Amino acid sequence: MAVPHDSHETSYLLPPNSKDWEGHGIPDFVYGQEELVLEGIQWPRDAPGLPEDSVPPSRFDSVLCSAWRQRVELGLFRYRLGELQTQTLPGAVGFVAQLNVERGAQRRRPQSISSVKQAFDPALFNFNKIRPGEVLFRLLREPDLPGAPQQEDILVMINVSPLEWGHVLLVPEPTRGLPQRLLPGALRAGVEAVLLSSHPGFRVGFNSLGGLASVNHLHLHGYYLAHRLPVEGAPSEPLDPGGHLHLLQAVPVPGFLFYTSRPGPDLEALIGRVCRATDYLTDREIAHNLFVTRGAPPGKTSPSSALTGVRVILWARKSSFGVKEGEAFNVALCELAGHLPVKTSQDFSSLTEAAALALIQDCLLPPAQAEEVQAALVALIAQDEQ
């Protein structure tokens, strides 16, 4: 896929000798309000590709991609990610399927999880145990951003089993030993990372425990995908009078849609609503997945609608503990959004829209429970308006 040019920044690159990495320290990426861009980021007319010369990379893109590329050259990943074979499945949904055999075969085995509320266990693998060179930088915003609290430290590190180019993890201060439960500071960093990128295909997501999170240590995923996804412009209907919560309709499956077109107080309000919703789900042992992408405003939109703000989409789903080895793909944040990383060549060549929908829909809550969750989230949002 096309990616932004290398950054001229050198402070984010590791010394050539691995013996010097331990003492290299973690560089800070400090950003201000002016770098959070909501307007003017669109897909080119000749999508799905994003030519390098058509969209100037932001400072965030340049730093992330140059540091990520260096880690590729240094061999810090479990496999070298090549150009992934990609197809849009025929049909109304527009699923983007990619063949990623190496991730299916070489990724770290998921931890044994038995509860959406499971406590952090320092004896298991966690992000305090990674190699020094895997951390790219510390994401820090200037303390004077209006209307927003001071951001906690967020480490941006490579995912050693990448889904796509630039696949990173956003990890709030790892030494705190936070379990995989979404917190406002983590979500804020994820949304602002999307706004820091000038690439319309940089997305961020979160898998809860039971929602196929493989490590019980708080983290979000971020990665580039140079293709439109169905959820960017899917239509929705409002669920509350204030228009703060919408039901994403049709493709690929229904989800709860939160939207903002302005940083500052509006973004903070969105973060609060989303985290109250995920707290409700976690407290009731309901697994969930979340996806953050540039997208169209709620309402009667279309796949080609302008990307005027940020969509945060939340899906409540059946808990799934462990990986189902025999299926074409596992259903987590990117699959629910319409991006399908497929494990084998045979499945990639034979996969149909109907088969993909059947796999995804099998992970949804039973209708009665889904209606109960919807009513509860609408009531939560209504409390904000009182």
Helix (H) or strand (E) segment spanning residue 96:
strand 96-99
Q: Note down the domain range covering 217.
A: 78-107+130-139+150-383
Averaged pLDDT for residues 272-290: 98
Number of domains in the chain: 1
pLDDT digits (tens, 9 = 90+) for 41-98: 988 876 544 434 447 899 999 999 999 999 999 999 999 988 899 999 999 999 999 9
For 296, residues 6+ apart whose C-beta sits below 8 A from its C-beta are 232, 233, 302, 305, 306, 307, 308, 309, 311
Distance CA 63, CA 69 (A): 10
DSSP 8-state secondary structure symbol assigned to residue 297 = P
- Please indicate, yes or no, if residue 271 is contained in any of the structural domains: yes
For residue 34, which amino acid is it? E
The tokens for 248 are 């994403």
- Please indicate, yes or no, if residue 350 is contained in any of the structural domains: yes
Averaged pLDDT for residues 298-322: 87
- Please indicate, yes or no, if residue 45 is contained in any of the structural domains: no
| Under 8 Å between Cβ of 377 and 244 | no
Three-state DSSP class for residue 186: helix
pTM of the model: 0.93
**C-alpha angle 313/273/170, rounded to 5°?**
60
Please check the confidence at residue 266 and state whether its pLDDT lies above 50.
Answer: yes
- Please indicate, yes or no, if residue 66 is contained in any of the structural domains: no
Distances (CA, A) of 150 to 157, 192, 369: 21, 13, 37
199 noted as active-site residue = no
pLDDT digits (tens, 9 = 90+) for 96-139: 999 999 876 666 677 788 999 999 999 999 999 999 899 999 99
pLDDT confidence of 162, banded at 50, 70, 90?
very high
Distance CA 81, CA 83 (A): 7
The tokens for 382 are 């209504």
The tokens for 109 are 């085995």
- Please indicate, yes or no, if residue 295 is contained in any of the structural domains: yes
| Under 8 Å between Cβ of 312 and 191 | yes
pLDDT confidence of 142, banded at 50, 70, 90?
confident
Distance CA 134, CA 76 (A): 7
- Catalytic residue, candidates 219, 221, 227, 339: 219
CATH number where 184 lies: 3.30.428.70
Least Cα distance to 339 among 300, 289, 301 occurs for 289
Distance CA 286, CA 211 (A): 9
- Please indicate, yes or no, if residue 332 is contained in any of the structural domains: yes
Percent pLDDT > 70 in the chain is 89
Gyration radius of the chain over CA positions: 20
For residue 196, which amino acid is it? L
Please check the confidence at residue 318 and state whether its pLDDT lies above 90.
Answer: yes
- Reduced 3-state DSSP string for 139-158: EEECCCCCCCCCCCCEEEEE
For 358, residues 6+ apart whose C-beta sits below 8 A from its C-beta are none
Min mean pLDDT across 22-26, 209-213, 293-297, 362-366 is at 22-26
- Please indicate, yes or no, if residue 63 is contained in any of the structural domains: no
- Please indicate, yes or no, if residue 307 is contained in any of the structural domains: yes
Burial 255-265 (b: 16+ CB within 10 A, else e): bbbbbbeebee
Please check the confidence at residue 6 and state whether its pLDDT lies above 50.
Answer: no
Averaged pLDDT for residues 318-344: 87
Min mean pLDDT across 38-52, 174-188, 209-223, 283-297 is at 38-52
